[in-house]
Amino acid sequence: PRKWDVCVVGAGLSGGVIAERYATLRKQSVLIVEKRRHIAGNCYDFLDDQTGLRLNLYGPHNFHTKLTNVWDYVKRFGRWAHYYHKKLAWSEGRFVPFPLNTETLNTIYDQHLMGANETAAFLAKIAEPCGPGGCSNSEQQSVASVGRAAYNQFYRGYTLKQWGVDPSQLDALVTGRISVRSDFDNRYFTDRYQSQPRDGYTRWMAGILSDPLIDLVLGVDWFDVQQRLAGRCGKLIFTGPIDHYFADSGLPKLTYRSLRFEKLAVLNIGEHGYYQPGTSVNYPEMAVPFTRSTEYKHYPGQPRSNHTVVVRETSGADGEPYYPVPNPRNHALYAKYKALADKEALKGVHFVGRLANYKYFNMDQAIDNALRIFDGLDRDSAPGRPPVK
Ligand code: FDA
């Protein structure tokens, strides 16, 4: 029977990048087994039948990075269109820039601040600093950063809806990821490189997987074929959920937050017609059932369409595993899984990517991580070891 030097579970970014490296740099054969019926993992996008617009199936994806090596890598597999992502928050009947910047603060606190020094001094005045031990949860972290009123208006409801728990019960790093600006910069990210693949993520990902040494099987769960493939993979790169791999270990499951997407098509609005003022709007108020609304027509590289689509998101505990829930129980549990994974590495099984590491990775971090892991594994391979055939 056929053998491969490397078998990869998952055709997302992590699996795709590792596969590409082994095939193009090491000239090794790779088999990718993907349980979904498409490539590109959570970055997958497609053309909507009803409107002709390109939508992401698993939520909007905005590429941004400060890493030149990652930017140089991604450009090799397709054309990219410059795009600064901007987000608005809808609160008390108006749209304001989010993350909070000087304009947002002026609007909600009725100020006339100008420049970084004034804004920083104002933020210092309204903030309630954390104690000497630092901020121990998301409520403390955000009140220390933007003050109580802005916390109540923009953070509390959104976090409750998104995570299903009060911010006081969540790790400080959850809201700590949200920046606050002391100027009028309304870009959501400040990284140097910000762009979208002109023909969509799926087409771009097809470029990554195009080497003839890569075999791809879609719609097949690894756990259904692993017995059949026993002894036929030189090494195994696993990018699925780590607790699925160790399902027989007796350890409890890690918990995730999932999302539900509701599509609202607005037909015949005109080629230049839009539903909302920007790509992405946050809805922090509890009275609004959804958390975020995305209008894909604002993205560059979209096909021309006489229609538009907004996709609204609500969060829940069930469904596709999207966001790891950072709390002490999961941190401790993941450490146990990680110990099992470290032992598995001795058998040539390596855990790569956001699900296998139980860690939120932005796309650039996932790519950088995969590139680094490939370099490490490549260095460790005995020189001259003949590829398995
Ligand atoms: P990913 O989940 O993409 O791929 C893993 C693959 O393994 C999946 O295709 C899965 O089906 C497959 N698999 C799992 N178990 C299997 C099994 N047993 N057998 C076979 N296949 C199996 N990042 C960013 O930079 N900007 C952004 O705007 C966003 N936006 C965003 C929105 C939402 C809602 C989420 C959840 C995430 C983002 N991201 C993001 C993060 C981005 O999605 C993430 O960096 C990549 O998906 C990581 O790629 P991976 O390959 O690690 O996982």
By most ligand atoms within 8 Å of CB, the mutation choice from 8, 18, 58, 61 for ligand 1 is 61
385 pLDDT more than 80: no
Q: Give the Å distance between the CA of 121 and the centre of ligand 1.
A: 40
Sheet containing strand 233-238, strands side by side: 214-218, 30-34, 4-9, 233-238, 349-351
Q: Is 156 in the pocket of ligand 1 (CB under 6 A)?
A: no
388 pLDDT more than 70: no
Q: Is 31 in the pocket of ligand 1 (CB under 6 A)?
A: no
Q: Give the Å distance between the CA of 39 and the centre of ligand 1.
A: 10
Which CATH number do you get for residue 248?
Answer: 3.40.50.720
Residue at a domain's end among 157, 176, 195: 176
Is residue 48 in some structural domain?
Answer: no
| Predicted local confidence at residue 123, as pLDDT | 93
Q: Give the Å distance between the CA of 260 and the centre of ligand 1.
A: 15
| Predicted local confidence at residue 116, as pLDDT | 94
- Range 292-317 average pLDDT: 97
User: How many whole angstroms separate alpha carbon 65 and alpha carbon 192?
Assistant: 7
Is residue 310 in some structural domain?
Answer: no
User: How many whole angstroms separate alpha carbon 346 and alpha carbon 357?
Assistant: 17
162 shares its domain with 220: no
Alpha helices in the chain (DSSP H): 13-26, 68-75, 102-109, 115-126, 138-146, 148-150, 157-163, 172-176, 201-208, 222-225, 242-245, 328-345, 363-380
165-196 confidence digits (pLDDT tens): 899 998 898 888 888 999 999 999 999 999 99
> How many domains does the structure of the chain reveal?
2
User: How many whole angstroms separate alpha carbon 112 and alpha carbon 319?
Assistant: 45
Mean pLDDT of the chain: 94
305 pLDDT more than 60: yes
Is residue 243 in some structural domain?
Answer: yes
- SS3 for 272? coil
| Predicted local confidence at residue 377, as pLDDT | 83
Least confident of 22-26, 227-231, 296-300, 384-388: 384-388
386 pLDDT more than 50: no
Maximal C-alpha separation, the chain = 73
- Binning pLDDT at 50, 70 and 90, where does residue 1 land? confident
| Predicted local confidence at residue 343, as pLDDT | 96
135-172 confidence digits (pLDDT tens): 999 999 999 999 999 999 999 999 999 999 899 998 89
Is residue 285 in some structural domain?
Answer: no
Is residue 100 in some structural domain?
Answer: yes
365 shares its domain with 246: yes
238 shares its domain with 347: yes
Q: Give the Å distance between the CA of 289 and the centre of ligand 1.
A: 25
37-85 confidence digits (pLDDT tens): 999 999 999 999 999 999 999 999 999 999 999 999 999 999 999 999 9
99 shares its domain with 239: no
241 shares its domain with 332: yes
User: How many whole angstroms separate alpha carbon 389 and alpha carbon 387?
Assistant: 6
Nearest CA to ligand 1 atom 29: 61
Q: Is 234 in the pocket of ligand 1 (CB under 6 A)?
A: no
| Predicted local confidence at residue 381, as pLDDT | 64
Alpha-carbon distances, residue 222 vs 10, 40, 229, 244, 326 (angstroms): 9, 17, 9, 10, 27
94 shares its domain with 160: yes
AA letter at 209: L
| Predicted local confidence at residue 176, as pLDDT | 87
251-300 confidence digits (pLDDT tens): 999 999 999 999 999 999 999 999 999 999 999 999 999 999 999 999 99
Residue at a domain's end among 176, 201, 225: 176
244 shares its domain with 330: yes
Give the tokens for residue 350. 């390596």
Angle at alpha carbon of residue 299, lines to 358 and 265, rounded to 5°: 90
Q: Which residues contact 97 (CB under 8 A, 6 or more apart)?
A: 86, 87, 88, 89, 103, 104, 186
Q: Give the Å distance between the CA of 58 and the centre of ligand 1.
A: 9
Q: Is 355 in the pocket of ligand 1 (CB under 6 A)?
A: yes
User: How many whole angstroms separate alpha carbon 74 and alpha carbon 205?
Assistant: 9
* Main-chain dihedrals φ then ψ at residue 64, nearest 5 degrees: -155, 140
Q: Is 119 in the pocket of ligand 1 (CB under 6 A)?
A: no
Q: Is 182 in the pocket of ligand 1 (CB under 6 A)?
A: no
Is omega for the bond preceding 387 within 30 degrees of 0, making it cis? no
170 shares its domain with 229: no
Q: Give the Å distance between the CA of 124 and the centre of ligand 1.
A: 38
| Predicted local confidence at residue 387, as pLDDT | 45
145 shares its domain with 22: no
Q: Give the Å distance between the CA of 14 and the centre of ligand 1.
A: 8
DSSP string, 314-333: EEESSSS--EE--SHHHHHH
Domain that holds residue 227: 4-39+209-253+325-380
Q: Give the Å distance between the CA of 287 and the centre of ligand 1.
A: 30
249 shares its domain with 330: yes
Give the tokens for residue 71. 């930017």
Is residue 348 in some structural domain?
Answer: yes
235 pLDDT more than 60: yes
Is residue 354 in some structural domain?
Answer: yes
Is residue 341 in some structural domain?
Answer: yes
Q: Give the Å distance between the CA of 42 and the centre of ligand 1.
A: 4
Residue at a domain's end among 135, 153, 176: 176
User: How many whole angstroms separate alpha carbon 253 and alpha carbon 233?
Assistant: 27
- Binning pLDDT at 50, 70 and 90, where does residue 389 land? very low
Give the tokens for residue 120. 């920083």
AA letter at 36: R
Q: Is 291 in the pocket of ligand 1 (CB under 6 A)?
A: no
370 shares its domain with 228: yes
| Predicted local confidence at residue 382, as pLDDT | 47
95 shares its domain with 233: no
Nearest CA to ligand 1 atom 27: 61
Alpha-carbon distances, residue 93 vs 43, 86, 327, 343 (angstroms): 32, 19, 34, 55
Residue 344: DSSP 8-state: H
| Predicted local confidence at residue 378, as pLDDT | 73
| Predicted local confidence at residue 153, as pLDDT | 94
